[in-house]
A and B are shown apart, each in its own frame.
Chain A
Amino acid sequence: MREITYAQALREALREEMKRDESVILIGEDIGIHGGAFSVTKGLIEEFGPERVRNTPISEAGFVGAAIGAALTGLRPIAEIMYVDFSTIAMDQIVNQAAKLRFMTGGKTCVPLVLRTQGGAGRGNAAQHSQSLEAWYAHIPGLLVVMPSSPYDAKGLLKSSIRDNNPIIFIEHKLLYATKGEVPDEGQEYLVPIGKADIKRKGSDVTIVTWSLMVRKALSAAEMLAEDGIAAEVVDVRTLRPLDTETIVESVKRTGRCVVVHEACKTGGFGAEVVARVVEEAFDYLDAPVLRVAAADTPIPYSKTLEDWVIPSEADIVSAVRRVVDG
């Protein structure tokens, strides 16, 4: 199979869905000639024109609201928020409007909106351009939260999200755009279902539950652990809401141990939700406490030394796994 980057995979998903359905449009800042801050929409304005690839002024609340209005009246907009940090500016539109419109109006409408954004640290973008805010959105009934870790999942999940009738927070990771992975040729259609976790590595000693960039770190940690004879299973949840609790719990029942890894800071992070579900549904199968590996509870610092200290590393994952395996 050919290998393409995460960014290319996302672009292919956008292009295929725009070709398939004229009601699919893009809205966002600098997504036209500039091609988006991470080049995901490069070439799309040339192919589909400025009516469908709509550059906006710097007005996150305004254009997210406009995307909601368009979604209510027959279109399937994909709004791009350049950094998930900037979604704070559009919070009323996302949380009070998009998430609740269907419910508040008695299920008589739907909001088929994909809000594409990216988060995460690792590039020295500091505290207002590096956050992992997925727990906020996963907390809101009415929203779905999707966080792919590989080019294959990115393409398949974005296509599924565009076809879904709910508002979806689709969070990419800035360090994943250049990573490569196997993806079927363009035109060989496939979808990845929303709400289905994927076991990225099989193992019998411990379950590592994670998502987004941390899947890659967990996989390299698993390699290191294998050298010591510890077989770690890596479960990529892929979507936080709905969460595929069944796959997680089944894995933990097999391994008897669980470590949850995420890049967001620990307090109030989504890892707490995963741990709670494991404890609620697989308590009797656990041979060790469930641990979390997460960022330190600080804003993301600028200096590389400081940033590396805050963000979980492969070594942090290895050491947490050793604690639950060795006891």
Chain B
Amino acid sequence: MESREKMLRMYRHMLAIRQFEHKAGDLFTRDAVRGSIHLYIGQEAVAVGVCSALEPGDYVVSTHRGHGHCIAKGGRLREMMAELLGKATGYCKGRGGSMHIADFGSGILGANGIVGGGIAIAVGAAFSAKYLKNGRVSVCFFGDGAVNQGIFHEALNLAAVWKVPAIFVCENNLYALSTPFRDAFAIEHVVDRAAGYGVPGCRVDGNDVLAVYEAAREACARARGGGGPTLIEAVTYRMDGHFRGDPCLYRSKQEVEEWAARDPITRFRAKLIESKVASAEELAAIEDEVRAEVEDAVRFALESPDPSPQDMLNDIYA
């Protein structure tokens, strides 16, 4: 069993993601967030389980549904929310928005608007870690949809041939936008592909944060020990649509309800109380703190100034 402190930190991060996403969704509905927004609600255990196994210097490459990865890896809520609102104080000074948040100081190499666009980039970060012998690992998150992009194949093969410390985390939430897994794959599981690259793979319950954490810890140990990459398939479900406003015509109410009963935060909360890691009162106190942090982030973002076009022109070239 992990330390109490670590488990409570996991709980806090999962809650922070959930509450941040609820706020972000509200702000989108109120037209304060532009474009489209892809919420991580329901998948919190994957980002938090994986990132809890990482060191501060390790790299994370994220996706269009990236807020959770960023928070779990140590991203700051204020800069994140300010970026969603397109403000000068946001992580990307309003240049990127929801799909391009990065925090290089925390090892977050960026979300990505292209499905599968970051997988090979993660391999390159893993290669530099190996070349520079800095002991870091590089984690790449992607959805089941990305697994059918050609670059998934190229990147996994390259990582395996080069034996770099990369961890490929497929968040299989069963739908690539509207296309169900069974219509896009002729195999049972994503992890079945691992053998095709000579890479060890494992499949975990992506709504069980401790199970994800264990799988990630094992993959990290392999990577840091020179054993090369791992493919983890974390089976989960997004409770919101592909984007905020998606009518979700492609899935049944019953299916959504079944997954709601497996909510990763509710489950972890019950486990913490049951195993006497914390009392309900202690957890409620954390919930209040997180709520206040998210409120603070929203206030910070709303009060922040807009960016200037002149300043933007300095960021095209180094």
Contact = CB atoms under 8 A, between A and B. Distances in A.
Given A66-B155, A70-B127, A72-B124, A106 B90 contact: yes
A30 to B, nearest CB: 15
A120 to B, nearest CB: 27
A104 B110 CA distance: 9
A69 to B, nearest CB: 2
Contacts of A109: 102, 104
B318 A66 contact: no
A83 B96 CA distance: 32
Interface size class of B (residues with CB under 8 A): 35 or more
B56 to A, nearest CB: 14
A226 B39 CA distance: 69
Contacts of A112: 318
B255 interface: no
Contacts of A265: none
Contacts of B119: 65
Most buried by A among B91, B113, B119, B158: B158
A56 interface: yes
Nearest to A241: B317
A108 interface: yes
B102 A69 contact: no
Contacts of B95: 103-107
Interface string B104-115: 100001101110
A120 B314 CA distance: 34
B110 A70 contact: no
Contact of A107 (B100, B131, B162, B314): B314
A142 B123 CA distance: 22
Contacts of B225: none
A108 B123 CA distance: 21
Nearest to A77: B124
Contacts of B100: 104-105
Contact of B125 (A54, A63, A72, A111): A72
Most buried by B among A51, A105, A165: A105
B316 interface: yes
17 contacts: A62-B154, A66-B127, A69-B109, A70-B125, A72-B109, A73-B59, A75-B128, A92-B117, A93-B120, A103-B316, A105-B96, A106-B91, A106-B92, A106-B95, A106-B96, A107-B318, A108-B102
Task: Identify the 10 closest CB pairs spanning chains A and B, nearest first.
Answer: A69-B124, A65-B120, A62-B154, A107-B315, A165-B318, A110-B318, A106-B93, A66-B124, A106-B92, A59-B154
